[in-house]
């Protein structure tokens, strides 16, 4: 196994690619088992890709793009803004990963994106923030 500082070790780009794989798979409503079978790998290997634990080779990334019906560039979209270390802290990257990694997070993002009125979006964000606060804690 490569050390943490090894050039072969997974990094923030690998995590971002994994997040994008999980997001697309969930949007398409494909299980890890079904996608892994299409690729000829175990679902455990797919989990490692999605969690950014294992790096993905160019050939495998191409196969993933075909299976998920997206261009290869899809996996790199928004990387600079989403997880560039100069723009996001490790904590923020973890929060984003957890959100996108949950079924409810994907569904919420899809529903939110269908709301066209910016005022309604702001109200919904405020509501979600207040619902997420600890009981008895007021601002």
List, run by run, the mean pLDDT of 10-residue segments along the chain (139 residues).
59 87 90 96 95 92 96 85 56 74 83 85 85 64
Surface-to-core class of residue 56, CB atoms within 10 Å of its CB (0-12 exposed, 13-18 middle, 19+ buried): buried
Which long-range contacts link 85-88 to residues 24+ away (Cβ below 8 Å)? 85/12
Domains of the chain from N-terminus onward: 12-101 (1.10.260.40)
CA distances from 124 to 119, 121, 128, 134, 137 (A): 9, 5, 6, 18, 20
pLDDT tens, position by position, 22-59: 989 988 889 999 999 999 999 999 999 998 889 999 99
Check residue 3 and give its pLDDT.
Answer: 47
Under a CB-based contact definition with an 8 Å cutoff, are residues 45 and 36 in contact?
A: yes
């Amino acid at each position: 196994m490569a050390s943490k500082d090894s050039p072969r070790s997974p990094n923030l780009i690998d995590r971002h690619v994994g997040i994008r794989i999980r997001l697309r798979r969930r949007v398409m409503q494909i299980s890890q088992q079904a996608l892994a079978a299409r690729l000829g790998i175990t679902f455990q290997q797919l989990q490692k890709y999605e969690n950014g634990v294992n790096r993905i080779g160019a050939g495998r990334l191409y196969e993933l793009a075909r299976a998920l019906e997206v261009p290869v560039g899809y996996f790199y979209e928004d990387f600079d803004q989403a997880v560039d270390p100069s723009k996001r802290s490790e904590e923020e990257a973890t929060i984003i990963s957890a959100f996108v990694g949950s079924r409810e997070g994907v569904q919420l993002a899809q529903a939110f994106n269908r709301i066209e009125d910016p005022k309604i979006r702001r109200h919904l964000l405020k509501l979600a923030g207040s619902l997420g606060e600890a009981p008895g804690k007021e601002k």
